[in-house]
Structure 1
């Protein structure tokens, strides 16, 4: 079953895994035995909270703060992205194709000579017009507009974006006092009612209702996945829209669905509000997100590893290496240590550790509880800055004067949570040759000129070799954030 960012494929999951156990345990093979009947409670178990008779009051309260986001795209935008215009017309029944065209969702065959554009959703978080949406909605946008619930369409500018969590912050350019919504103060529980409001297929102001089906989902969308799973129907165009609780507070930002067809089947995913708030606060202040850095390569503690280490449970993050000069090495962490908690928060696996550290700012002191040789230890670590997050790439940052430059800021993928091989693209100069060929933040360069690379210096070495041989371009094999691998020929340009 394909996994979709509001119909943008980003990974694959096994259908069997999504439906496993779906039929097990339902139905009785024969009549109920007397002994079993006697074991039943004498009074029926009642749910503590009954569904409300109507959600209309909540909708009336929050709907004015939800907006439709419309973008015009540059030529490198992906047709499968939410921002790329419309559903694949080959997947839409003929009798519905005209319907979608009327609402601006005409697909490649219906665009004619019109500028490429797309739609998404968002919500206003302050009276002065700050708007939250998904990064993938506005990532390749030339211009952005938002349509309010009262019908006004206003220009907006992108304040900042974070591809790792897929969050972007916009600002309405026209001054005024706008209706806004607020984030929830606590995380929802599995089974809580939620409402999704957004702009599916360009039909703004659409409200759907469901429950929180699960928490802590890792769907392979990014290094810090921690999604809420909801069954309120969301579709293409819902990306960036809010998920509300019954009090009208934002508990998540809708961003992905799992579906065999691209339409809603009740498997939607929302970024938790606590993650969104942390990212938005940095985007609003600095225009970018800077994350804490520990400097360890880790892997999950499997059952076999736990038995080999003499652990009671397969939990924690096993340190493969604490790289020289990093905060972890300075604090004395070593290969073979098992990190159990950060500031008292349990670490169940390697991904938990990545999320917890990335959620803290550089310079923060944290207490790491870990096991070494079966004994409990505690280390105090001052976090550094995640490589590539310390500055935005500027012209010439990636190469000395006189050498070919690509306009990229790079870091070993193993240090960023983007995989065990290759070199991760941390920032892209929009005016550089790599950006012109479609290389994006979050991509991983696997090899350059046919040679595997794992460090930025190895990328530069291959570029120098290609330049010395008189080549005008260098061929790279690049893996996108969605797991797709492709070859890209990047022109070699020099800075004097």
Structure 2
């Protein structure tokens, strides 16, 4: 699904880091203890049943012995370069991890591991080293494929991340700081995490200690199946702080297939701008939950428009697969082949309907128009303005040039309006579906409104609706 970027908010305080260089961190104890000696014995037994004892903690040795030989150390030499500010960067060496997916030498890793490399080498656990060719790489998903000339190589088993559950144990193998074949473990903390507004990847979040040098290494489930590629950490310090993220292996294999076949990646688009559905909005629309993706704008020349999607529809499924978030929608549509037919399930007027859409081709890195998390939820503040805009009427020339039935121009945006993404220069054309023809009408409607309103604005010729929680 490809549309223009939705309105971007402020930068996050924490830093998302690709884990390309390395440090090691010892793993914590797998069991838990109870220090309150005064508690009832039944409570202690209940805690023990839930947590388990040391003897019942998973044994990862079978996974390591069976599939560890398929995990490789990747060494990279980089050429000198000049950055965007004109500063010269000297060449050097970097390292990462990867894993063998075919006996004839195809290896998956991260794009950031091999990007800019003048040469790539691969070292196996048996000590053999090979020169590797970069078959293809994809910046949007951070997936790359390299190949070595060898046969009868050990390989991993590919799993289905859709079958994994939050709370399940997972294992990482890689080369943090060059310490080859390092094994760490943890649990799946969450699924379908969006780490940036333009990424088509619904990341798997874990608490597995992964560090610089683990990049490109596999994330295994307890069946010994790879369900992800370790890619980044989220940190305030630059080091591991319990938040690591892996690319789901099904998304990576989809990219791999295209890179091997054509050397580049094509992504689908349907031409809509989407945003998360608030609980209040879901209730107002008659939805049982706030899953799905609310259509805020539609490309007038895009596939969605041709298929009959409307602004205000909630996309709840793609080809029979339930969509619970904007992140899932972005990932699902991006994997659809341009020119193929897809069935999009939408919630409209209190009921679900299915629309057939001919998938378009993405022309840029943007997959979807998704409101950034910083703008999706902000704490309530005291003494907040009701809406928080200073506006003026449209001039006759402006109204004719924009071909609008009415509207007011935003000169300043603060408080709820700014948090919802409204900016100076936007034209407010409607509130809750009613056309705004004067400043006084807007003031009156906002004063009489409930706790939230849907504001329709025009920016750079494109129309979008945003939900605003009033002050």
- Same fold, TM-score > 0.5, yes or no: yes
User: Which of residues 114, 122, 140 in structure 2 aligns to 1:138?
Assistant: 114
**What's the counterpart of residue 246 of structure 2?**
270
Does residue 19 of structure 2 align to residue 6 of structure 1?
yes
* SS of equivalent residue, structure 1 residue 72: strand
User: What per-residue deviation string (whole Å, max 9, x for no partner) do you get for residues 235-288 of structure 1?
Assistant: 101000111223322121111112332222332211122222222122221222
Change (3 A) 1:77 1:271: farther
Q: How far apart, in 2, do the equivalents of 1:299 and 1:277 lie?
A: 27
- Whether the 8 Å contact between 2:273 and 2:368 is mirrored in structure 1 is no
Does residue 270 of structure 2 align to residue 294 of structure 1?
yes
Q: How far apart, in 1, do the equivalents of 2:261 and 2:139 lie?
A: 17
| CA shift for structure 1 position 121 | 0.5
Gap runs ≥5 in structure 2: 1-13, 22-33, 373-424, 426-471
Report 1:87-126 matches (<5 A). Answer: 115-126=91-102
Higher relative contact order (CA 8 A, sep 6+): 2
Bigger mean CA deviation after superposition, 142-151 or 225-234: 225-234
Q: How far apart, in 1, do the equivalents of 2:369 and 2:77 lie?
A: 32
Report 1:181-196 matches (<5 A). Answer: 181-185=156-160, 187-196=163-172
Does residue 308 of structure 2 align to residue 332 of structure 1?
yes
Does residue 72 of structure 2 align to residue 67 of structure 1?
yes
| CA shift for structure 1 position 325 | 3.1
Q: How far apart, in 1, do the equivalents of 2:46 and 2:286 lie?
A: 47
Bigger mean CA deviation after superposition, 37-46 or 61-70: 37-46
User: What per-residue deviation string (whole Å, max 9, x for no partner) do you get for residues 324-369 of structure 1?
Assistant: 3321111111222222211222222332221111122122222112
Change (3 A) 1:59 1:175: closer
- Whether the 8 Å contact between 2:273 and 2:370 is mirrored in structure 1 is no
Does residue 161 of structure 2 align to residue 179 of structure 1?
no
User: Which of residues 362, 378, 394 in structure 1 aligns to 2:338?
Assistant: 362
Q: How far apart, in 1, do the equivalents of 2:74 and 2:245 lie?
A: 19
Q: How far apart, in 2, do the equivalents of 1:40 and 1:208 lie?
A: 29
Q: How far apart, in 2, do the equivalents of 1:229 and 1:311 lie?
A: 28
* SS of equivalent residue, structure 2 residue 204: strand
| CA shift for structure 1 position 119 | 0.5
| CA shift for structure 1 position 77 | 8.0
* SS of equivalent residue, structure 1 residue 225: coil
Change (3 A) 1:133 1:325: same
User: Which of residues 252, 261, 270 in structure 2 aligns to 1:285?
Assistant: 261
**What's the counterpart of residue 198 of structure 1?**
174
* SS of equivalent residue, structure 1 residue 220: coil
Q: How far apart, in 2, do the equivalents of 1:176 and 1:252 lie?
A: 24
Does residue 126 of structure 2 align to residue 150 of structure 1?
yes
| CA shift for structure 1 position 179 | 1.8
Give aligned pairs, total: 343
Gap runs ≥5 in structure 1: 9-25, 79-107, 389-410, 421-451, 453-496
Q: Alpha carbon RMSD of aligned pairs, Å?
A: 3.5
* SS of equivalent residue, structure 1 residue 195: strand
TM-score (norm 1): 0.61
